[in-house]
Amino acid sequence: MLTYLIILLDDTSVSYCHYEANCKERRLINIDDLKAGIMFAMKENLNVQFVYPDNELPAAYLEAIDSIDHTDIKPIANGNGADVVVLGGWDDEVPEGATCIIHSSFDDLDGHVATINGWLRRMTRLNVVLTDVDKFKDSDIDCYKKTLDALVDGMVELFQQGRSAQLNLLTDRLMLAEMNNCRAGDSNVTLAPNGKFYLCPAFYYEDEKQSLGDLKSGLDIKNPQLLRLDHSPICRQCDAYQCRRCIWMNQRLTMDANTPSHQQCVVAHLERNASRELQLRLDEAGIRLTDSRPIEEMTELDPFNIVNRWK
């Protein structure tokens, strides 16, 4: 069921996920399309997430945005009042108590574990969005495992000091009893600055022609069941509940939006297993997180390799 509408306010709106928002030229959504998008969300009873560019918006836009309950996703350069702040880099001064997103390659993440451990003392939550999952190789497994182990050390120290913070790579899986994926095209769709709907911003930036209707003709998703978890034979058996299950990456890497790539599965399982390690270490230290659920030991990193068990 559709629950969220994401509205990209400008072609230069900040990226908050795996895609690259590669437009340099500003193109603000037409004010009438913005108002029609808000009306669409009201009629369909959708929560709205607005995604902002670096620059300030005209007063009429801010007035329209304030006419509906919403979440603001903003770049740090224009981050006042944001619910989610997208950081521009590792040297940014992070806002106290904020929920933030940082884009990083695996290599950069490995080199900034200490930065993240420091940030988590100020933030409520950090989402790390890895930008090169598509290039991840089996020979990178040990290195990413080491990075995650170092992040686990930092989290244990944080909790031992009586503090707490969320880091998507490690803490999301602890609290989940079922899949909690992106669900683009299933629970959410995106309205782009051209007034057309897309499965998610990534499909818009990749090729504007991939639209799913517009505000006048209506939203038209062909065979929506083919995007859902219950139609994904591998994912629906999996317990890496925190995995993004990114349908855009699936489409690029396997040519099917509902079939995961080896890379995505291995990365998600390394994070699942590191979450388990964090859980065990916190248990040992006598620290119990409310709602934390036991995670079973698992050595296989790609569910595709154990597909016979599910037949």
Q: Does 169 bind ligand SF4 (CB under 6 A)?
A: no
What's the distance, Cα to Cα, between the start and end of the chain in Å? 28
Characterize 246-270 residue by residue with b for buried, 16 or more Cβ atoms within 10 angstroms of its Cβ, and e for exposed: bbbbbbebeeebbbbbbbbbbbbbb
Please select the residue that binds ligand SF4; options are 64, 240, 257, 278, rule is CB under 6 A: 240
Q: Are 268 and 205 in contact (CB under 8 A)?
A: no
**What SS3 state is found at 4?**
strand
With CA atoms as reference, report the closest residue to 86 among 94, 104, 98, 74.
Answer: 74
SS3 content of the chain, % helix, strand, coil (to 5): 40, 15, 45
CB of 221 to ligand SF4, least distance (A): 20
Report d(CA 76, CA 53) in Å as an integer.
10
Position 265 contacts ligand SF4 (CB under 6 A)? yes
Check residue 280 for interaction with ligand SF4 (CB under 6 A).
Answer: no
Q: Closest approach of Cβ 243 to ligand SF4, in Å? A: 3
String of DSSP letters for 77-141:
GG-TT-SEEE--STT--PPTT-EEEEEE-HHHHHHTHHHHHHHTTT-SEEEEEES-GGG--GGGH
For 6, 54, 220, 232, 295, the CA distances from 223, given in Å and listed in that order, are 21, 36, 9, 13, 34
Q: Which of 28, 100, 167, 268 binds ligand SF4 (CB under 6 A)?
A: 268
Comparing CB distances to ligand SF4, the nearer of 171 and 242 is 242
**CA geometry: angle 216, 222, 226, nearest 5 deg:** 145
From 90-98, 165-173, 212-220, 234-242, give the range in contact with ligand SF4 by CB under 6 A: 234-242
Note whether 273 binds ligand SF4 by CB under 6 A.
no
Least Å from the CB of residue 213 to ligand SF4: 28
- Binding of residue 234 to ligand SF4 (CB under 6 A): yes
From 34, 238, 247, 282, residue interacting with ligand SF4 (rule: CB under 6 A): 238
Q: According to the binding rule CB under 6 A, does residue 74 interact with ligand SF4? A: no
Residue 243 binds ligand SF4, judged by CB under 6 A: yes
Residues numbered 282-311 forming contacts with ligand SF4, rule: CB under 6 A: 303
Instruction: Choose the stretch contacting ligand SF4; rule: CB under 6 A; options: 63-71, 151-159, 200-208, 263-271.
Output: 263-271
CB of 264 to ligand SF4, least distance (A): 5
Counting contacts by CB under 6 A, is residue 128 touching ligand SF4?
Answer: no
- Give me the residues that bind ligand SF4 (CB under 6 A), please: 234-235, 238, 240, 243, 245, 260, 264-265, 268-269, 303
